[in-house]
Amino acid sequence: DEEFDELCFEFGLELDEITSEKDIISKEKGGEKAKGASDTVLYKIDVPANRYDLLCLEGLVRGLQIFKERINIPRYEKIIPAEGERQKLIITAETVQVRPHAVAAVLRNITFTKERYDSFIDLQEKLHQNICRRRKLVAIGTHDLDTISGPFTFTAKAPSEIKFKPLNQSKEYTASQIMDLYRTDSHLRHYLHLIENKPLYPVIYDSNGVVLSMPPIINGDHTKISIKTRNVFIECTGTDITKAKIVLDTIVTMFSEYCEKPFTVEAAEVVYPNGKTHIYPELAYRKEKVKPELINKKLGISETPSSLAKLLTRMCLKSDVIGNGNNLEVEIPPTRSDIMHACDIIEDAAIAYGYNNIQMTIPKTYTMANQLPLNKLTELLRLDLAAAGFTEALTFALCSQEDIADKLGMDISATNAVRIANPKTAEFQVARTTLVPGLLKTIAANRKMPLPLKLFEISDIVVKDPNTDVGARNYRHLGAVYYNKSPGFEIMHGLLDRVMQLLGTPPHEENGYTIKATEASAFFPGRCAEIFAKGQSIGKLGVLHPDVITKFELTMPCSALEINIEPFV
């Protein structure tokens, strides 16, 4: 286990944990539910989001074997059958509105076992969640080619006109009924919205009118693949042709090693509505040139061009030294869609060299790091407020409109709050304009604690500001509340005096701070004061209005203080 962990680290991956199905279930649902679950050891490996070629066991093992120099880099080959014999996928003009793109390929004479089959299905699921963006950009369909006959047609029809037996179902349904059927399905219901409100649904037929699939929802049961399947027809439909090509390349390169002639893929022809044709998969190899001195300079190492070429070859990037050692010619295989730029090649050279093997050096530039003055002041105040007997709270920067407006007796337009355009929950609709609601919600959640409750928070609030480049501005506020059987105005006043003492601001009209009686909707009439310092209003303190207290589901009197500390930096 330790050796494998080390190998993963060297290869730029992370072995997250060593567990088993039993362990996972007992952690999530308790020991009782885990009875009878498998004890087989499972490795949880963290794979970078752009390495689609490592998302299945086949690709991961192949990558590690090449890295360890146990096998050579395979050469992926597409076999293009003669004109009349190749599989065709014809795209009709109706698909333009829903899912305009499609690509296809065939894996001939493949041999599945239970493990290979499970891995094949699992890779599709991982790609759907990852690069396919939950099937929004691309949806994958795999079919048993021996149960159908081409040419295939990718078209779009009204839901009532599509009728077929969906995967693992016992009878036929129309497309509309299928949508209703899967509305309660824990797995498929997440994809229904992709086509639900479209007038036409995408569908793929063979030459006899058998439905292969209704992307991106479900395949037909007729073409279901199994362990016995020998020839697999793969189609990827989507709204993004580049992603569709990457997905197709990934699937065929990963599983072509199980074909009778390993690493060969049978190409299919796609016919577009305008009559143009294209052969897929592309399986494109391309060559990039990188200067060895650039790699050495960027990484801070000094390797010879031939040893850099060897390092890159270990990372599946076949490299040769050309032009008197001035250049490296790097071949990018179809499995490495993540290599877009010389930087990506340099990164792979760094991984193969080993980050731990790069010598640490002192930077040539001499700089002094310093804490931001506002943060330094915040840290100092936090310590002293805690020493004054107050407990620090950390609350969310987002809240509901009610929290900062209705519950404080204000109108939302008067708060000048920044709104979230598409909030996921009612709890997070706006950025907070005051710290008091967050503290009151914290008290409401801790009503069982012994009184008095004394809380404070020093954090940012956000308000609209048309004069800034982003249209909003942050202010660092200090907020505190006191909750007890008596309002405790004097305690808040004492806290303000202590904070001002710490800030070196004496009680003085001109050179210090003063408080003046005022009225505010959140505070009890005659029990509210505005605080002035540095020639400006910096905040308020007072006893909260009973309406405010009840709206936050509290039952005792409460006093609050909130000031802006930025003028004191």
If we measure between CA atoms, which residue out of 104, 122, 102 comes closest to residue 114? 122
Which helix or strand (DSSP H or E) is residue 91 part of?
Answer: strand 88-91
C-alpha torsion angle, residues 415, 418, 419, 425 (rounded to 10): -90
State the pLDDT at residue 291: 93
Task: List, in order, residues 6 or more apart from 392 with CB less than 8 Å away.
Answer: 382, 385, 386, 455, 456, 457
CA distance 516 to 220: 76
State the pLDDT at residue 363: 79
Q: Which residues are 478's β-sheet partners? A: 458, 563
Let me know if domain 373-568 sits in CATH 3.20.20.190: no
State the pLDDT at residue 36: 77
State the pLDDT at residue 113: 94
**pLDDT, tens digit (0-9, with 9 covering 90-100), for 104-126:** 999 999 999 999 999 999 999 99
If we measure between CA atoms, which residue out of 225, 199, 197, 228 comes closest to residue 213? 225
Q: Which sequence spans correspond to the domains of the chain?
A: 1-46, 77-180+188-280, 286-357, 373-568
Confidence of residue 387 (pLDDT cuts 50, 70, 90): very high
In this structure, the number of other CB atoms found within 10 A of the CB of residue 445 comes to 11
Q: Do domains 77-180+188-280 and 373-568 have the same CATH topology?
A: no
Instruction: Give how far Cα 107 sits from Cα of 151, 229, 249, 281, Å.
Output: 16, 10, 12, 11
State the pLDDT at residue 369: 84
Does this model's pTM top 0.75?
no
In the predicted structure, residue 29 carries a pLDDT above the cut 90:
no
CA distance 172 to 394: 55
State the pLDDT at residue 22: 82
Confidence of residue 473 (pLDDT cuts 50, 70, 90): very high
Q: What is the percentage of the chain residues whose pLDDT exceeds 90?
A: 75
State the pLDDT at residue 39: 82
Residue with tokens 């904070």: 499
**pLDDT, tens digit (0-9, with 9 covering 90-100), for 191-218:** 999 998 899 999 999 999 999 999 999 9
If we measure between CA atoms, which residue out of 214, 211, 184 comes closest to residue 198? 214
Please give the residue that has the higher pLDDT: either 34 or 233. Answer: 233
Q: Mean pLDDT over residues 470-485, rounded?
A: 94
In the predicted structure, residue 28 carries a pLDDT above the cut 80:
no
Confidence of residue 414 (pLDDT cuts 50, 70, 90): confident
Instruction: Give how far Cα 501 sits from Cα of 379, 495, 496, 563, Å.
Output: 16, 10, 9, 14
3-state SS, residue 260: coil
Rounded to the nearest 10 degrees, the angle between the axes of helix 292-299 and helix 342-353 is 60
Contact predicate 565/378, CB 8 Å: yes
In the predicted structure, residue 34 carries a pLDDT above the cut 80:
no
Rounded to the nearest 10 degrees, the angle between the axes of helix 373-387 and helix 489-502 is 140
**pLDDT, tens digit (0-9, with 9 covering 90-100), for 279-333:** 999 999 999 999 999 999 999 999 999 999 999 999 999 999 998 888 999 999 9
Task: List, in order, residues 6 or more apart from 238 with CB less than 8 Å away.
Answer: 99, 101, 102, 132, 137, 138, 139, 244, 247
User: What's the CATH code, domain 286-357?
Assistant: 3.30.56.10
**pLDDT, tens digit (0-9, with 9 covering 90-100), for 144-163:** 999 998 799 999 999 999 99
Give the domain 1-46 fold: Phenylalanyl-tRNA Synthetase; Chain B, domain 1 (3.30.56)
Confidence of residue 500 (pLDDT cuts 50, 70, 90): very high
If we measure between CA atoms, which residue out of 444, 415, 450 comes closest to residue 432? 415
**pLDDT, tens digit (0-9, with 9 covering 90-100), for 501-529:** 999 999 888 888 999 999 999 999 999 99
Q: Which residues are 332's β-sheet partners? A: 286
Q: Mean pLDDT over residues 18-25, rounded?
A: 84
Let me know if domain 77-180+188-280 sits in CATH 3.10.580.10: no
Contact predicate 174/159, CB 8 Å: yes
Averaged pLDDT score across all residues of the chain: 91
Q: Which residues are 331's β-sheet partners? A: 287
If we measure between CA atoms, which residue out of 462, 401, 408 comes closest to residue 428? 401
In the predicted structure, residue 35 carries a pLDDT above the cut 90:
no
Confidence of residue 366 (pLDDT cuts 50, 70, 90): confident
State the pLDDT at residue 447: 87
DSSP 459-495: EEEEEE-TTSTTSEEEEEEEEEEEESSS--HHHHHHH
State the pLDDT at residue 454: 94
In this structure, the number of other CB atoms found within 10 A of the CB of residue 302 comes to 10
Contact predicate 178/131, CB 8 Å: no
Phi, psi of 549 (to 5 degrees): -60, -45
Phi, psi of 532 (to 5 degrees): -115, 135
Q: Which residues are 90's β-sheet partners? A: 153, 271
